[in-house]
Structure formats: C-alpha cells, structure tokens
Structure 1
Amino acid sequence: MLKIENLRAEVGGTEILKGLSLDIGAGEIHAIMGPNGAGKSTLSYVLGGRPGYEVTGGSVTFDGQDLLDLEPHERAAAGLFLGFQYPVEIPGVSNVQFLREAANAQRKARGQNPLSGGEFLKLAKEKAGLLKMDMEMMKRAVNVGFSGGEKKRAEMVQMGILDPKFAVLDETDSGLDIDALRVVGDGINAIMRESGKGVLLITHYQRLLDYVKPDFVHVLAKGAIVKTGGPELAAQLENEGYEAVAA
C-alpha cells in the first residue's frame, strides 16, 4: 500500500532523511521509534506534502500512485491521513462545520455524492462515540480550549469521518493520560485495523503499542531505518534505550 524506497529529504539545506526505505501493506500497522532528531516527524511531513520539506532522492508509491507527484489535498483525496503531534486550533470554526466541509470535499474529489446534514450528523455521532466524545464538544471551535487528550481524540474522530485508506500518526500518544491513551488506542483499532487499512504510527514510547499491537516495529536513527522487529523490539527499546539496541 505504501512503499518508500531510498527516500532522502532536507529542510533548510540540512539533510534529515538519508536513504529511508519502508514497505507497508494493506491491513498492517507499523510503528516507528527513534531518538529526538532522528527524522520521524520529517518523514510524516514529507509524506503529507508539507511545504519546506524538499525531497532530494528516492520514491514513495501509495496505492499504485506516485505520492510525491501529488499536492497535499490530492494526497488526502487519494486516502492518506496525517495526524499531527500538535493539532492546531481554528477559532471561529466548529468541528462539525470543519469536518462536514472536509468530508464532502474529499467525497467530491472521489466522485461520490456529498453527505446531507442528517447523514453527516449520524456519521459524526458514530465516530465520536468510538472516541467517547459527545456532540456538544463537536460543536465547539476546532481544538480551542481542548486539553491535549481532547485534541488527540478529536483528531481520531476526524480520521474516522474522513475514512482514509492509510494513516500516518505522528506521536498521537503525546499529551494523553492513561484513560485517554486507552480510548485513542481502541479508536485506532476500530477505525483502521478492523477495516484492513494501513497505519504508520510514530511514537517515542511503548505505552500506546500496548493497545495498538503493531505488526512491525522499526528503529529510525540518523535519517534511516537501522533495525526492524516485532512488538518485542519496542519493549527492548523501553528497557535498554536506543543506543544499546540500534548499535
């Protein structure tokens, strides 16, 4: 589903990704762990098409398409979802309004009919219920006044409504307490794993992986994948640290 071959990318003239390769099939969840500055967030931004991140080599194929040849909105319409480490606030725009516009824009790009108000509200209630968010929160401005955990849950609701084929989740566990961690983990499983979709989960810690069991765990260091294993690799990293495991 997502095939990355020898990807190289730089930011402000500094090379961050230095020949990264990764192949993720449909229905697979892959976790990437690594020290600060390894290139984890850079990878997510390159896949999402964020300006300022220049690809200097390699290729990325998504569902049979050249991902790097698509604009960010085209990548989203093709079924790629990017979850941010720090979701932004949008004052004056309610979650319901934002998500209905986003969902119908993607449906139009895919040749589908737009959702009516009633259809959208039914869908929103279903997905919000998975993340234990009530509709009163969904009526509030996007992320304004939300706690860290509420922002991440709202983002998972967004993922459920947009129904992507593949999700890149950048430190989704950041800012979550124990209860929110479980809710978000269950949401990822319900929305993505149970539908046979792909996930690239970027994290620093094993704790989210206790709920979202990855098929593979990769260690990213100095801009490249240096080690791959199963879920046990995450536990080893937690116990021994990156230097000992990736040496």
Structure 2
Amino acid sequence: MQIIKIENLKSQVEGQQILKGIDLTINKGEIHVIMGPNGAGKSTLANVLMGHPAHEVLEGTVDFLGKDLLDMKVDERAKAGLFLSFQYPQEVPGVTVENFLRTAKKEVSGIMPMMTQFNKDVKKQMADLNMDEKYLERYLNQGFSGGEKKKNEILQMSVLNPKLAILDETDSGLDIDAIRVVYETVQKLSNDNNGILVITHYNKILNYIKPDFVHVLVDGKIVRSGDITLAEEIERTGYEVFKAENAAKTV
C-alpha cells in the first residue's frame, strides 16, 4: 500500500529554485535512501514535506495516505503520521525529555499515555539506543552532544511510531559506534505498516540498514534509482558521473 507519492515537486527559497521536479513513491514496508552531493536539495526535500515556511512550493503534488500533504499544516502532518528527524536538533530549555515525549505522544495519538507503562516502554527503547535513563530528566537536547541529540531523535521516532519517518542526515556528527546503534535501531523500527526515508551522503550507514531503494539526487532532481548496488557505485566513482548525466539531460 502506498504511503506517499510525490509528483513533479518543485520549490524555491528566497526566489532561488532548489527542487526541480521530484518524483518519488514510498510504499508500506519500504526503506528508501536518498544520496547526493552537498547542495543537491536533500534537506530541502525533507523541509518541504514537513511544511517549513521558508520553502515555497512552485509546482507538483504530494499524496500522503490519500490526503493532500501540501494542503496540511505542520501539526496536521505530524498527527497524520509524518515524522522528521532533524539534521540539527534544537535545544528546548525548561522542557524535560520525558515531558516532551509524553506530550508529543498525546498530541499524535489523541490520548495521554499512562505514566507507568509509558516510562517502562520508553526506558526499553532507550536501552536499545544505549541511552542512560537519566536523560529523561534533562531538558530537551540542552547540553547534549551531537550523538546524544541524534539518538534522542530516534527515541522520538520509536515513541511516536510514525507512518513515514524522514531521517535528515541523522549520521551527521556521529562516531562510528553511534552510527551503528542508531541505524540498527532504525532497521528494527521498520515494519510492514510504515515507511522510512533516509537522507545521507555517508555510504557506511548501509552496513547497518538495508534499503529497498537507493536514489541519487543531483541539482534538485532524482537522476537515478536502484538497489543497494547503486550506493556501491557511488562509493567507487563519486557523484561526478551522475552530475554529468544530469547535465546531459538538461542541455
């Protein structure tokens, strides 16, 4: 069953066009990886799908579980089951991790979870991420290292159980051990009822997560799609061949 279908999506920021016609469909049970050079539009795609106000959609459609995603407010997108793990998570002084997670769960599900069972479930999920339970008492991301912030993003994903999780360069700033823990957890969270879109430029994550599809994004367009062997080709050749392919198509 289809979760999201993106057709001819184009967008701009401050008058500069970034996305130039994205086509992508993700079905239930699938993991997709988007790779590409810096400035290709990978994070822009994530921000447009989540509804960042700085990004203006110029053209195209996005069907999310039968609804017009582009017509929905940000909170409506989240409540419908869309989740974005930020590349640069923000600190929120005065709000503990525990309160944030419990409140977010209530807003998405419509029901305030019972404290005892909720804490039990969260602590199990934290153990999978090698996170100390003391983080629940700390203010959200305040004083956290880069790796701790990224683990906290995946903890949120685990708690909220979204229909589609978009992970925007979650590997950025992580050491190799943290990358392994994060992406092994993401792989475990993949199931027949959700979809996962991983945005990265780091091939090594594919040692820990097994995508169904790999897409190469260059200059605002997906120029080629394939299986994991496509990522292996990128590792061997870099992105120059894909840039040349895209340039040839646009001439």
**TM-score, L = length of structure 1:** 0.95
The runs of at least 4 consecutive aligned structure 1 residues that moved more than 3 Å come to none
Q: Give yes or no for contact 1:10–1:53 (8 Å, CA) kept in 2.
A: yes
Alignment of 1:45-194 (within 5 A): 45-108=47-110, 113-191=111-189, 193-194=190-191
Amino acid at match of 2:76: E
Total equivalences in the alignment: 242
Give the Cα–Cα distance (whole angstroms) in 2 for the partners of residues 188 and 194 of structure 1: 10
Equivalent residue for 1:240?
237
Q: Do the aligned partners of residues 122 and 195 (structure 1) sit closer, same or farther apart at CA in structure 2, a change above 3 Å counting?
A: farther
Give the partner amino acid of 1:185: Y
Secondary structure, counterpart of 1:31 in structure 2: strand
Shift in Å, 1:178: 1.1
SS at match of 1:173: coil
The answer to whether the Cα contact below 8 Å between 1:94 and 1:141 also exists between their aligned partners in 2 is yes
Structure 2: how far apart are the matches of 1:177 and 1:74? 34
CA deviation after TM superposition for structure 1 residue 194, in Å? 3.6
1:171–1:202 CA contact under 8 A, matched in 2: yes
1:210 aligned residue (174, 188, 207): 207
Aligned alpha-carbon RMSD (Å): 1.1
Q: Percent identity?
A: 52
For structure 1, which runs of at least 5 residues remain unmatched after alignment?
none
Give, in whole Å, the separation in 2 of the partners of 1:17 and 1:160.
Answer: 30
Give the AA of the match of 1:190.
Answer: K
1:179 counterpart letter in structure 2: D
Pick from 16, 33, 38 the counterpart of residue 36 of structure 1: 38
Question: 1:61, 1:67 within 8 Å by CA — same for their partners in 2?
Answer: yes
Q: Which runs of 5+ in 2 are unaligned?
A: 246-251
